[in-house]
Amino acid sequence: MKNILTKNRFLMSASALTMAFSVSAQAMPKAKVENWGKLADGQTVKSISLTNDRSTTVRIITYGGIIQSVETPDKKGKIANIALGFDSIDGYVKNNKGAFFGAVLGRVANRIANGTFTLEGKTYHTSVNEGQNTLHGGVESFSRKFWTIDDVGQDKNGAHVRLKLISPDGDQGFPGTVTASVTYTLSNDNSLKARFQAQTDAPTIVNLTTHNYWNLLGEGSGTIEPEILQIFADKFVETDAASLPTGKLVPVAGTALDFNKPHKISDHLRSKESQMIWPRGYDKCWVIKGEAVTGKLRPAAKLTDPRSGRVLEVYTDQPGMQFYTSNSLDGRYVGPSGQAYRQGDAVAFEPEHFPDSANHSNFPTIELKPGQSYDHVTIFKFSHN
């Protein structure tokens, strides 16, 4: 009898050990690399899937450093993709010249007035792609470059991939050879961290961010107007009719841009204020509260969808954040759901330095010199009520 009990205890102990190992193995975040099509020049685009134990999967592709999809559960456990985009590389090559779905923006995110800036006494002209202005880095910006996998892996804290890009001197008119990288890390606390880094061999300007289109009800589900937004900012960067900064940082109080108290996006989306009429909705850079210190994250925004219960929180160490209600989507883009994307079908959060900073000495500088390191972090945290 004693031998039988001893044997049973051993079997139970072994079974418990096996179960614990299985749970631990299941809980370990995972990174998986697969082929995802070819570009016209023959380069193979890779897809990197980052998965955690919260049933969240983020897919990134090496074209444009793009976040292609983010699948995460709602309050009922239903999993859906909440990031707009395309299900083939052809979709991005064809459509991402002006829409920037999920892409890394660079060398300089947002606008450069007249595609011109002066650095250390020399004037540079960058490729223009929005009238006479440069938007998000120019015609062939970082969003349309082939990035290489520099590192990929996982541990108990998260699954990650680091993508690298070398932008040569003169790329889109920018001086200096810049080596840039973005590291995406999906953690078991359901945070997706994007760390942007860059170095240069000559004085230049750099302002990197990401351009994801989010719909917390799910990709292709229509309007985001019922979603409830809070932006942690007391001021915004005033712009003119061409969306170029006037140089003024204006208080949000008493305007349609005041999201200090959370409210529905629809509440003031059709405001008659000029700052809303000119861009046809929200498309502005907010000045995030608190001192902008590299590595010191501050809350920038919180978005809640009352229908699905999903919540998206944004944290950053950047001084500003562009918030955009996809005003230019007009039905010409069709996503994996088969639904056409239209105005107001998504929102974009773009933590960054202020637009046209190179031409405004009162804005935080975006100059980068040899020996210096550009290093900024943004976190998107997913949850549900």
Question: Count of residues for the chain?
Answer: 385
**211 in a known ligand binding site:** yes
8 Å CB contact between 153 and 162 = no
110: number of Cβ within 10 Å: 27
> Following DSSP, what letter does each residue of 353-376 receive, concatenated?
SPTTGGG-TTSPP-EE-TT--EEE
From the list 227, 350, 376, 384, the catalytic residue is 350
Q: Is 238 a catalytic residue?
A: no
10 Å CB burial of residue 95 (0-12, 13-18, 19+) is: middle
From the list 136, 160, 211, 376, the catalytic residue is 211
**110 in a known ligand binding site:** yes
Q: Is 350 a catalytic residue?
A: yes
Residue 26, token pair as written in the block: 């299941």
**341 in a known ligand binding site:** no
> Following DSSP, what letter does each residue of 126-169 receive, concatenated?
PPP-BTTBEETT-TT-GGGSBPEEEEEEEETTEEEEEEEEEE-T
**125 in a known ligand binding site:** no
Please state, in angstroms and rounded to a whole number, the distance separating the CA atoms of residues 349 and 312. Answer: 11
Please state, in angstroms and rounded to a whole number, the distance separating the CA atoms of residues 369 and 80. Answer: 43
**263 in a known ligand binding site:** no
**111 in a known ligand binding site:** yes
Residue stretches of the annotated binding site for beta-D-galactose: 110-111, 211-213, 283
Give the active site residues.
211, 350
Residue stretches of the annotated binding site: 110-111, 211-213, 283
